[in-house]
Structure 1
Amino acid sequence: MEKSVSKDITVDISDKTTIVEVSKATQKYQSEIYLKKSVNGTPYEINLKSFLGLITLQLRNGDELNIRTVGEDAEEAMADVVSYLSQT
């Protein structure tokens, strides 16, 4: 059975970090990494490894996200994504 990890965070990205960098950094993981955000009451879930999905999500500081990782290295992928997307 595949590992699955989920965590809610508030986006707090430094001005020096771009979402494209986050996506590139996560390519090394075998796990799938999903970001879920509600926009005007409609939930959107994208694969972090998809540049088109990232553009659609339009992440901004203060956004509430649910991050879900699924796969063998799910815990490591989660830790890396959280460190990129939140300063806490």
Structure 2
Amino acid sequence: MENSLTKDIVVNISDKVTIVEVSKATQKFQSEIYLKKNINGTPYEINLKSFLGLITLQLRNGDHLNIRTVGEDCVEAMADVAGYLSQS
């Protein structure tokens, strides 16, 4: 059975961090990393490693997201992604 984690966060991205940087930083993980967001009542889930998917989500500070990581290094991937997307 493959390891997986899920976590709900509220997006709080620093002006200094772009979503492209977040996506590039996740390329080092073996795990798949998914972001899920409701847009006008419809849930959308994208692979964070996909630039096209990121454009679809149009992330903004204050958005509620569900992060799901699946794979051997899912704990490390979750920590990195949650850290990037919910900076204080």
Same fold (TM over 0.5): yes
Show CA shifts across 1:15-35 (max 9, x none).
Answer: 000000000000000000000
How many residues align? The count is: 88
- Counterpart residue type for residue 42 of structure 1: T
Structure 2 unpaired stretches of 5+: none
CA RMSD of aligned residues (A): 0.6
- Counterpart residue type for residue 51 of structure 1: F
Structure 1 segments of 4 or more deviating over 6 A? none
Provide the identity percentage.
83
**Which residue in 1 is equivalent to 2:23?**
23
CA–CA distance in structure 2, aligned partners of residues 56 and 82 of structure 1: 19
Structure 1 unpaired stretches of 5+: none
CA–CA distance in structure 2, aligned partners of residues 17 and 60 of structure 1: 12
CA–CA distance in structure 1, aligned partners of residues 44 and 87 of structure 2: 23
Cα offset, 1:87, TM superposition: 1.6
CA–CA distance in structure 1, aligned partners of residues 56 and 86 of structure 2: 20
* Helix, strand or coil at the partner of 2:72: coil
**Which residue in 2 is equivalent to 1:45?**
45
* Helix, strand or coil at the partner of 1:59: coil
- What pairs up with 1:1-88 in 2 under 5 angstroms? 1-88=1-88
- Normalised by the length of structure 2, the TM-score is 0.98
- Normalised by the length of structure 1, the TM-score is 0.98
